[in-house]
Amino acid sequence: MRSSLAVSLALALSLAAASVSAHVGHDQPRGHLRNNRRGRERRAASSVLTEVPAVVTGAVTISNTQVAAAGETAAAVGAPKKVVHALPGCSSVAAFGESCSPLTSTCCDTGLTCKGGSCTFMCSSDTTESYCDADFPCNTDLGYVCTAGRCRPPAGAVRVANGETCDQGTTNTLFCIPGKGVCQDGTCKACTQHS
């Protein structure tokens, strides 16, 4: 009886020892197997393709391209841009009321602008009672004085409508309405603020 008990005990110990020895190789953390698998995947993904496959089912990185020579990296494609010609110079100068056209190079005289195919007076900054200070003085030749930061007629001067007599630049008592008229040859004539 003792011998069978000893045999049983010896058998149990040998099974336990075999079981322990079987687990000795697996005592490493479970992540070890995952890390090995990831390493194999990284090595497979880092392989360089020599050609782009016809059907791609995943991300493909092509890393075997070579750098071109500096002079070959920016080859121009297309036709050269056409030269933009400037508008022709003035072949003739038109006076007030005469026809004009920038397309036919008929320009208006100084102080005039081409509007609606006809030369008309341009309302200069002098006629609009523009801002003034020590750095931006008024046109004293036309009788304007700087009053409260604006170029205005002198004290005692009167405003007159278009078609009426004016004396700007001489007596400076009769001024055209600002932004509406220009004193030309002693008469207020209509002017435009837009060409």
Range with lowest mean pLDDT among 20-24, 67-71, 112-116, 187-191? 20-24
What is the pLDDT at residue 110? 84
Q: Is residue 55, in this structure, part of any structural domain at all?
A: no
What is the pLDDT at residue 164? 96
- State whether 173 and 106 are in the same domain: no
Q: Is residue 36, in this structure, part of any structural domain at all?
A: no
What is the pLDDT at residue 77? 56
Identify the three-state secondary structure at position 34: helix
Identify the three-state secondary structure at position 74: coil
Identify the three-state secondary structure at position 176: strand
195 or 187, greater pLDDT: 187
Task: Tell me the C-alpha distance between 194 and 189, whole Å.
Answer: 16
Task: Tell me the C-alpha distance between 179 and 125, whole Å.
Answer: 8
Q: How crowded is residue 93: how many other Cβ atoms within 10 Å of its Cβ? A: 14
Q: Is residue 49, in this structure, part of any structural domain at all?
A: no
The tokens of 113 are what? 């602008």
Of 72, 155, 163, 168, which is closest to residue 127 (Cα–Cα)?
Answer: 168
Domain containing 179 equals 123-195
Over residues 87-125, the pLDDT tens digits come to: 557 888 888 889 988 777 888 888 888 888 889 898 888
- State whether 116 and 130 are in the same domain: no
Over residues 30-54, the pLDDT tens digits come to: 555 556 666 666 655 555 556 666 6
Instruction: Quote the pTM value.
Output: 0.48
What is the pLDDT at residue 167? 94
The tokens of 138 are what? 């008024």
DSSP codes joined into one string, 35-57: HHHHHHHHHHHTPPPSS--SS--
Where residue 7 falls among pLDDT bands split at 50, 70, 90?
A: very low
Over residues 139-180, the pLDDT tens digits come to: 888 889 999 999 999 999 999 999 999 999 899 999 999 888
How many Cα atoms within 13 Å fall on the side-chain side of residue 185? 5
Number of domains in the chain: 2
Q: Is residue 175, in this structure, part of any structural domain at all?
A: yes
CA distances from 68 to 60, 63, 71, 73, 75 (A): 22, 14, 8, 6, 11
- State whether 116 and 170 are in the same domain: no
